[in-house]
């Protein structure tokens, strides 16, 4: 067991994981420009690094990926921040974290947060978008001004995260590979974890006003700590100590590259048509709708003092499309219709 504070352990891990993931993505397309590495300092406390890939919009004529980089837009960001949460952020957080203290007379709550968040939007309509997030959060007691940040008593802590796949065209072998890789990672820490967090993922990434999910799922979890968890049976084999939960986080984080990169390698040169590009952009419009209207992480980030807006909105695709009463996806026998079926009725993949 490490003698380092959990804050330091998490920080060291996400710094290394960011480098691993960015390197794997850059190897997909050695001729493309490298990711832009943008280190930043938060004046209210903390730091981060945004690694972002984007190129100027090119002509849409012909194949959507011909002579263009494999990735259209991507970001792999880390942040290690601390400070005090304002009432709006505390209120939003208490919806899902009842352990967060709230004193109306002194509503600002000291916090520490460290995490990695990524979204990958490949150019080819047959290569799926993927999102992942792994984070650690602490709430501490207020301390006298001038004392070291984080020196207050630890009141609450938890880990959260997940990874999910959002294809425009459904390839069953890709879906099975993605879920199988994640399930195998989860199973090493308890066989109850994957089914519980897979179900949570399907529920979380629902777009209520469309009555469809954003993608074909993966895992999603939050509030994972040493207390009873409402998504897991009390007698389930699962990590319960901070050290064991952190090991689970590392196993899940390390599974990202093998779960996703081989899928992009398999699909990035698939011939595509303007019709398929049009459908990809419509699906990206749905992605935008979820992220801006429903995603808790986006909402929390936007009400946090000193939030880095460019990093928060990095998840949005470079280009998206909305069509009034579009008929794409309405034919059940079309390739678009096959995807819509599983978005309306999530299914088991492994």
For the annotated catalytic residues, the residue numbers are 131
Query: Is 58 strand, coil or helix?
Result: coil
| Number of residues assigned to the chain | 350
Residues 6 or more apart from 112 whose CB is under 8 A from it?
7, 81, 82, 137, 138, 140, 149, 150
Please work out, in degrees rounded to the nearest 5, the angle formed at the alpha carbon of residue 245 by the alpha carbons of 100 and 1: 115
Query: What is the spatial distance between Cα 136 and Cα 246, in angstroms, rounded to a whole number?
Result: 9
Tokens describing residue 32: 């493309």
CB 214 within 8 A of CB 166: yes
* Pairwise CA distance, residues 212 & 37, whole Å: 35
Question: For 305, which DSSP code?
Answer: T
Residue 229 to residue 261: CA distance in whole angstroms? 32
Residue 32 to residues 21, 28, 36, 130, Cα–Cα distance (Å): 16, 9, 12, 19
Q: How far apart are CA 198 and CA 201, in angstroms?
A: 5
DSSP 54: E
DSSP 153-172: PEEEEEEEEEEEEE-SS--H
DSSP per residue, 259-301 = HHHHHHHHHTT----HHHHHHHHHHHHHHHHHHHHT-HHHHHH
| CA-based torsion, 1, 241, 9, 190: positive or negative | positive
């Amino acid at each position: 067991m490490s003698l380092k504070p959990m804050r330091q352990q998490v920080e060291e891990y996400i710094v290394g994981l960011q480098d691993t993931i960015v390197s794997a993505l850059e190897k997909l397309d050695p001729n493309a420009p490298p990711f832009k590495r943008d280190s930043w300092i938060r004046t209210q406390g903390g730091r981060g690094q945004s690694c972002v890939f984007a190129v100027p919009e090119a002509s849409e004529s012909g194949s959507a990926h011909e002579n263009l980089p494999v990735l259209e837009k991507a970001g792999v960001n880390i942040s290690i921040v601390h400070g005090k949460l304002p009432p709006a952020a505390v209120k939003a957080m208490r919806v899902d974290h009842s352990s967060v203290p709230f004193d109306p007379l002194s509503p600002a709550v000291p916090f520490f947060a460290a995490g990695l968040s990524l979204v990958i939007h490949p150019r080819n309509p047959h290569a799926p978008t993927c999102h992942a997030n792994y984070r650690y959060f602490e709430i501490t007691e207020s301390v006298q001004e001038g004392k070291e940040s984080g020196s207050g008593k630890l009141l609450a802590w938890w880990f959260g995260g997940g990874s999910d796949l959002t294809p425009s065209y459904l390839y069953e072998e890709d879906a099975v590979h993605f879920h199988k890789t994640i399930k195998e990672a989860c199973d090493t820490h308890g066989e109850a974890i994957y089914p519980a967090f897979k179900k949570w993922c399907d529920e979380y990434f629902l777009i209520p006003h469309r009555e469809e999910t954003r993608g074909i799922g993966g895992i999603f979890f939050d509030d994972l700590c040493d207390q009873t968890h409402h998504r897991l049976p009390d007698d389930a084999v699962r990590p319960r100590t901070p050290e064991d939960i952190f090991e689970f986080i590392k196993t899940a984080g390390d599974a990202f590259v093998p779960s996703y990169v081989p899928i992009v390698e398999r699909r990035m040169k698939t011939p595509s048509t303007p019709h398929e590009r049009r459908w990809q952009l419509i699906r990206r419009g749905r992605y935008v709708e979820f992220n801006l209207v429903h995603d808790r992480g986006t909402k929390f980030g936007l009400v946090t003092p000193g939030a880095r807006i460019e990093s928060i909105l990095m998840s949005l695709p470079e280009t998206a499309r909305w069509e009034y009463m579009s008929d794409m996806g309405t034919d059940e026998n079309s390739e678009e219709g096959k995807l819509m079926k599983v978005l309306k009725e999530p299914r088991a993949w492994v």
